[in-house]
């Protein structure tokens, strides 16, 4: 239920202590006995939440070192602390650093060094009662005349993100709002940052991303464009006016050529995402004919090609594509890495050294150096390695299941570390959210397959219809068909794996969040006794009330087909509405919901809980008052895990 153009980077350093759980005096993680060699422990929620989180920052000014950040959960403070480090490109001993500006070039300083960019909120619209009526300073009222009244997890108070430039010279405090008090955002909300604005290489203009629509119109559109602002004339030029979908993430090569990410269709946040370049005044879509969708990209140092990441066959890999030059056309897309891992982000490039974050289902992200010339990988950070050396691994297996329409579907199966095929195991069907999100080798601090398997569960994770990585048609099929083929794909997956003797058919559960939470609610009404327990997090329960209460209307317009009062789209609100199938609910269900979730409002979870309770179905509601669609605070995250496994222990 969030745009594919935003990819969150979660990351980690580290300390030899295996535990944070001792702070709570209960459910302590297993410890190693003194003198015990080559021993391992199964990962627990406490160990998971003791892991540090590693993210790349960039390449140092001299091109010889990698700058990265380590964020550490501080469970006692319910927060995170961060430190910055520098390490040679080929690995070695990391060094603590403090002021980033001493080691890395700031993209926000103009090429000539005269100006700097920044952004801040500007009050444009009077919405608060105290702004509308200055004599009522203690009023706590918000007045709206259009949609956009709330977004993601915040109520709108009339403030907009605006980009400013100001002189770098000391003693000058003049700042210029390049958006001139307009009611538009840059950076984009809710996830945009300073990647939404950059300097043009000539230093005379600023490139920025903006959706120049407001209110009800903005909430029904994804038409985000890339603009050029000229410092001398204060004029704005729309560089992508002909495209009606998303245009984002502008990035110049060292040679001064512009590249950006683009989606074609207005209103479809999960459309095929392409790389577009402007070379010699000519605009070219480099990936138009390629049957996939791009996550992110980076220019090669000599500017002759672009490297990008994309989902493929249940993983996220690096691809390359050549840049057109003169009469020479762009080269075809080439996949240049392969393996059971995800490339989660680019840190930077130095010569042939591409620095990336890489993860898999058994390990949180670390930084790697990939030599694009030789194809050789080298891990350069080992922040969590000492802990992982003491944690038993789960086996992950690829299976291909025949679907009801005779297609081959990849299904990840994750086994407990000490798996014995002669035993029977409780089994969980994992339902991915999105609904158009890749189910790959990700490492989550909530939906963590390693952790689930370590508690004795087999996890079945199908790459059902709607997921990228299997061609554009497979990816887009789910829109307007939420309760259709993809639900059958879930059942095909669990039925196929359940044929194995080690699956305990009397102890099967279905779990998921967002669209995965919808899937759980929907399966609860149609599963015909397959499952003995359900867990839904921030799931859509009632498609009609979802349409009337979510904030980004373009999402439900695209995925439901349109509003519930238009009878052409009635299937989304009848056949595919979990609320219409509650009369079949019999199976215990746990419902998590964040009270600040405005994408799938908390009323969805409340409706589902009420229905289950009134029907006499064993059920539990976990309300998270200060969380949104995700769970971000350390203590809430640990509590979530404890309640998750407590419920499974009760019901399976």
Per-residue pLDDT of 95-104, as tens digits, reads 999 889 899 9
Q: What is the pLDDT of residues 211-264, one digit of tens each?
A: 999 999 999 999 999 999 999 999 999 999 999 999 999 999 999 999 999 999
| Cα dihedral value 452, 458, 460, 461, nearest 10 | 30
Homologous superfamily, domain 394-651: Alpha/Beta hydrolase fold, catalytic domain (3.40.50.1820)
pLDDT confidence of 7, banded at 50, 70, 90? very low
User: How high is the pLDDT of residue 28?
Assistant: 34
- φ/ψ of residue 402, rounded to 5: -80, 125
CA dist 248 → 192, 213, 225, 273 (Å):
10, 16, 7, 10
- Average pLDDT over the chain reads 93
Under DSSP, the state recorded for 325 is: B
pLDDT at 429: 99
Q: In the prediction, which pLDDT does 13 show? A: 27
Q: What is the DSSP string of 252-303?
A: E-TTS-EEEEEE-STT-TTS-EEEEEEETTEEEETTTTSSS---EEEE-TTS
- Quick one: CA dihedral 285, 287, 288, 292, positive or negative? negative
Angstrom CA distances, 175 to 101, 208, 235, 237, 626, stand at 21, 17, 17, 21, 35
CA atoms within 13 Å, Cβ hemisphere of 403: 18
CA dist 483 and 202 (Å) reads: 52
CA 142 to chain centre: 31
Take residue 48 and report the two structure tokens written for it.
């998971």
Element (H, E) at 573: helix 570-573
* The pair of three-digit structure tokens given for residue 486, joined into one six-digit string: 């993809």
- What would the two tokens of residue 240 be? 């992508």
Count how many Cα atoms sit within 13 Å of the Cα of residue 156 in the half-sphere of its side chain: 26
Non-local (6+) Cβ contacts of 406 within 8 A are: none
Q: Give all strands of the β-sheet with 205-210 in edge-to-edge order.
A: 197-199, 205-210, 225-230, 236-238
How far apart CA 49 and CA 637 sit, in angstroms, is 8
Which tens digits make up the pLDDT trace of 158-194?
999 999 999 999 877 889 999 999 999 999 999 999 9
Q: Which residue has the tokens 């393996």?
A: 339
**Which pLDDT belongs to residue 284?**
96
Cis peptide before 362 (omega within 30 of 0): no
CA gap 432, 438 in Å, rounded? 8
Task: Tell me: pLDDT of 152 over 70.
Answer: yes
The tens digit of pLDDT for each residue in 71-81 reads 999 999 999 99
**β 225-230/236-238 pair status:** antiparallel
Q: What is the pLDDT of residue 398?
A: 98
| CB-based contacts of 369-372 (< 8 A; 24+ apart in sequence) | 369/89, 369/90, 369/91, 370/318, 370/337, 372/300, 372/307, 372/320, 372/336
Are 320 and 334 in contact by the 8 Å Cβ rule? The answer is: yes
pLDDT in tens, 224-234: 999 999 999 99
Distances (CA, A) of 630 to 577, 620, 634: 23, 19, 12
pLDDT at 65: 97
If pLDDT is split at 50, 70 and 90, which confidence band does 329 have? confident
Query: So what's the pLDDT on residue 4?
Result: 46
The model's pLDDT over 352-362, given as tens digits with 9 standing for 90+, comes to 999 999 999 99
**CA–CA separation, 537 vs 540, rounded Å?**
9
Whose CA is closest to 459, among 424, 421, 508?
508
d(CA 593, CA 507): 25
Cα dihedral 598/600/601/604 (nearest 10): 180
CB-based contact 11:357 (threshold 8 Å): yes
Q: What is the pLDDT of residue 1?
A: 64
User: Does the pLDDT at position 90 exceed 80?
Assistant: yes
Element (H, E) at 472: helix 472-476
The H or E element spanning position 643 is: helix 634-651
Q: Which two tokens stand for residue 381?
A: 């950070």
Catalytic residues: 514, 597, 629
Please report the sign of the dihedral spanned by the C-alpha atoms of residue 611, residue 612, residue 616, residue 622. negative
Other C-beta atoms closer than 10 Å to the C-beta of 151 total 18
The 10 Å Cβ neighbour count of residue 374 is 8
- Distance from first CA to last CA of the chain, Å, rounded? 29
Q: What digits encode the pLDDT tens for the residues 291-315?
A: 999 999 999 999 999 999 999 999 9
pLDDT in tens, 101-137: 899 999 999 999 999 999 999 999 999 999 999 999 9
Half-sphere exposure of 197 (CA within 13 A, CB side): 27
Tell me, what's the pLDDT at 22?
Answer: 27
pLDDT (tens digit per residue) in 498-545: 999 999 999 999 999 999 999 999 999 999 999 999 999 999 999 999
Please list, in sequence order, all residues whose beta carbon lies within 8 angstroms of the beta carbon of residue 467, skipping any fewer than 6 positions away: 311, 432, 434, 436, 437, 438, 439, 474, 475
Angle, in degrees to the nearest 10, between helices 485-497 and 515-523: 70
% residues pLDDT > 90 (the chain):
91
Give the model confidence (pLDDT) of 26-73 as tens digits.
333 344 333 344 568 999 999 999 999 999 999 999 999 999 999 999
Please provide residue 210's backbone torsions phi and psi, each rounded to the nearest 5 degrees: -160, 140
Q: Mapped to the 3 state alphabet, what secondary structure does 424-449 carry? A: CEEEEEEECCCCCCCCCCCCCCCCCH
**Secondary structure class of 3 (helix, strand, coil):** coil
- CA atoms 477, 478, 482, 484: torsion sign: positive
* CA 440 centroid distance within chain: 12
- How far, in Å, CA of 68 to CA of 298, rounded? 18
pLDDT score of 38:
56
Exposed, middle or buried: residue 284 (CB in 10 Å: 0-12, 13-18, 19+)? Answer: middle
Beta bridge partners of 260: 276
- Are the beta carbons of 415 and 449 closer than 8 angstroms? no
What is the sign of the dihedral through the CA atoms of 23, 29, 33 and 34?
negative
Compute the distance between CA of residue 595 and CA of residue 223 in angstroms, rounded to an integer: 29
Q: Which residue has the higher pLDDT, 329 or 105?
A: 105
pTM across the whole model? 0.94
Average pLDDT over residues 367-374: 98
Furthest-apart CA atoms within the chain: distance in Å:
76
Provide, rounded to the nearest whole percent, the portion of the chain with pLDDT above 70: 94
Q: Beta-carbon neighbour count of residue 12 at 10 Å?
A: 27
Structural Rg of the chain based on CA atoms: 25
């Amino acid at each position: 239920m969030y745009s594919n153009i935003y990819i969150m980077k979660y990351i980690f350093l580290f300390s030899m202590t295996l535990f944070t759980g001792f702070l709570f005096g209960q459910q302590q993680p297993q410890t190693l006995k003194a003198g015990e060699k080559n021993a391992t422990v199964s990962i627990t929620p406490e160990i998971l939440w003791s892991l540090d989180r590693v993210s790349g920052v960039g390449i140092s000014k001299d091109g010889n070192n990698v700058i990265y950040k380590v964020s550490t959960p501080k469970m006692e403070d319910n927060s995170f602390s961060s430190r910055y480090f520098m390490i040679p490109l080929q690995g070695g001993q990391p060094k603590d650093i403090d002021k980033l500006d001493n080691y890395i070039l700031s993209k926000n300083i103009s090429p000539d060094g005269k100006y700097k960019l920044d952004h801040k909120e500007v009050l444009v619209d009077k919405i608060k009662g105290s702004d509308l009526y200055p004599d009522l300073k203690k009023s706590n009222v918000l007045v709206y005349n259009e949609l956009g009244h709330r977004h993601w997890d915040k109520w709108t108070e009339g403030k907009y993100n605006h980009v400013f430039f100001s002189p770098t010279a000391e003693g000058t405090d003049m700042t210029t709002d390049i958006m001139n008090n307009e009611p538009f955002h840059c950076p984009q909300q809710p996830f945009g940052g300073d990647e939404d604005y950059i300097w043009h290489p000539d230093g005379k203009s600023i490139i920025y991303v903006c959706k120049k629509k407001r209110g009800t119109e903005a909430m029904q559109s994804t038409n985000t464009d890339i603009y050029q602002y000229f410092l001398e004339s204060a004029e704005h030029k729309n560089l992508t006016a002909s495209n009606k979908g998303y245009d984002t993430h502008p990035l110049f090569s060292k040679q001064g050529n512009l590249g950006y990410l683009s989606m074609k269709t207005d209103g479809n946040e999960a459309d095929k995402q392409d790389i577009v370049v402007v070379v010699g005044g000519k605009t070219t879509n480099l990936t138009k004919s390629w049957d996939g969708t791009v996550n992110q990209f980076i220019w090669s140092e000599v500017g002759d090609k672009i490297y990008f990441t994309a989902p493929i066959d249940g993983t996220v890999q690096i691809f390359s594509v050549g840049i057109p030059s003169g009469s020479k056309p762009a080269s075809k897309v080439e996949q240049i890495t392969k393996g059971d891992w995800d490339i989660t982000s680019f840190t930077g490039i130095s010569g042939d050294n591409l620095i990336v974050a890489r993860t898999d289902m058994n390990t949180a992200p670390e930084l790697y150096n990939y030599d694009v010339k030789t194809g050789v990988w080298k891990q350069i950070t080992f922040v969590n390695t000492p802990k992982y050396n003491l944690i038993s691994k789960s086996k992950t297996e690829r299976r291909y299941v025949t679907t009801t329409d005779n297609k081959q579907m990849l299904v990840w199966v994750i086994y407990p570390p000490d798996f014995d095929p002669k035993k029977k195991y409780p089994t969980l069907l994992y339902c991915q959210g999105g609904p158009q999100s890749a189910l790959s080798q990700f490492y989550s601090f909530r939906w963590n397959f390693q952790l689930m398997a370590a508690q004795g569960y087999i996890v079945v994770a199908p790459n059902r219809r709607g997921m990228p990585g299997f061609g554009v048609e497979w990816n887009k099929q789910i829109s307007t068909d939420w309760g259709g083929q993809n639900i059958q794909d879930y059942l095909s997956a669990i039925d196929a794996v359940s044929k194995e003797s080690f699956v305990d058919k009397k102890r099967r559960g279905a779990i998921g969040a967002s669209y995965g939470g919808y899937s759980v609610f929907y399966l609860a009404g149609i599963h015909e006794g397959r499952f003995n327990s359900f867990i839904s997090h921030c799931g859509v329960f009632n498609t009609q009330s979802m349409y009337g209460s979510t904030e980004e209307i373009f999402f439900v317009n695209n995925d439901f087909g349109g509003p519930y009062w238009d009878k052409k789209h009635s299937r989304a609100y009848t056949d595919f509405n979990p609320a219409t199938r509650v009369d079949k609910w019999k199976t215990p269900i746990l419902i998590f919901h964040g009270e600040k979730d405005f994408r799938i409002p908390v009323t969805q979870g409340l409706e589902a809980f009420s229905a289950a309770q009134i029907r006499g179905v064993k059920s539990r509601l976990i309300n998270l008052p200060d969380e949104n669609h995700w769970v971000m605070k350390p203590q809430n995250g640990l509590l979530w895990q404890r309640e998750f496994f407590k419920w499974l222990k009760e019901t399976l």
